[in-house]
Structures are given as structure tokens and as C-alpha cells.
Structure 1
Amino acid sequence: MNTLAIQTDIRVKNVLIHEDAFSVELMDGRTLTTPLAWFPRLLKANPEQLQKWEICGGGYGIHWEEIDEDISTEGLLRGAAAPQNQMQSLV
């Protein structure tokens, strides 16, 4: 019996910033697009700060030093917004 084995690699390849969302290109070819509104620190950041991201966590995360934000690809795949306490503290 043959089964189709799909190789997944959820490490970050690139991040693209849009007007009201950001896209994360994964090493396996998928692209995840998420509203900035899910992450209040990203939503409040200026365009220059948003562009200053770096890959962290062995490729499984994105870090914005200036705005103290970290997002994992696992969280994005689960559709997880920022924790409620973070959202409330920044409002």
C-alpha cells in the first residue's frame, strides 16, 4: 500500500509586512497571513519597526526587538492570537 507522505517544514523563510496583516513564508512553501490586529504590539508599531524582524528559535519563531514581540510558527498554524492579557494591557 502506498501512502502520500507530505514533508512539512514550519521554519520561517521570510516575513512580509502588509498594511493590515503580515505574511510568513515557510520553508515548505506554505504562506501564512495573519491580521496585525491579532498582535497589538505589531498593530501599534510603525512601518520601520515592523520591518526590523529577525528569525529566532532555531527558525521556528519571529522576533521584533524594538517592540518586544515574539511569535512562533506553531502558534500561527494554530490560529492563535496574542494572549488576552497582552491585548488588554496594550489597549
Structure 2
Amino acid sequence: METDQLIAIDLFCTNYNVEYSFVQSLGEAGLIDTIMIQETRYIHIPQLQKLESIIRLHEDLDINLEGIEVVHHLLKRVETMQNEILILKNRLRFFEGN
């Protein structure tokens, strides 16, 4: 497996000054995807923005893991609804144009 799109969690934690156990618990909760390669746990680089956002929620707003799960769930629902609204607007424009 190519590791050019992966970053070791321990390296991430060192650079961001975050507890390894916190990132590990995020993986166990299903908030981020991790992968184990030769006894080292990695995170996919495209997930870094999501992980940074979660860390800000945790550190800046003092939200615990359960709260982060709720916020993440609500944000996904809002995104889904925004996509549905966009689809409905496009349909409406189509029918208004005819």
C-alpha cells in the first residue's frame, strides 16, 4: 500500500500537540478512518481538515467525544439537507423554465 497519502498518527500528535489516545478514540468512534500498517497507525491526509476541525471543537470549545459525535452527526445532516435543497432548486428552475 502506498503511504504517500498517509500520515502516522504519532507524528500528527507530536506536531499538533494532541494526545495519541484522543485521536485513537476518534478512530474507535468512527469519526475518522485509521489504518494499521506494520504496527503503526495512520490517517489518510484528506481527512486532516476534518481531524483539525474536531480538535478545535475539543480544545477551543471544550467539547467531549460524545458531543463531538453529536456535532459531527448534525453537520452531516445539514450538509445532506443543503444538497437536497440544491437539487430541489434546480428542479424548480427546470420546471419554471418550461
Q: TM-score, normalization: structure 1?
A: 0.31
**Which is richer in helix?**
2
**Which is richer in strand?**
1
Q: Which has the larger radius of gyration?
A: 2
Q: TM-score, normalization: structure 2?
A: 0.30
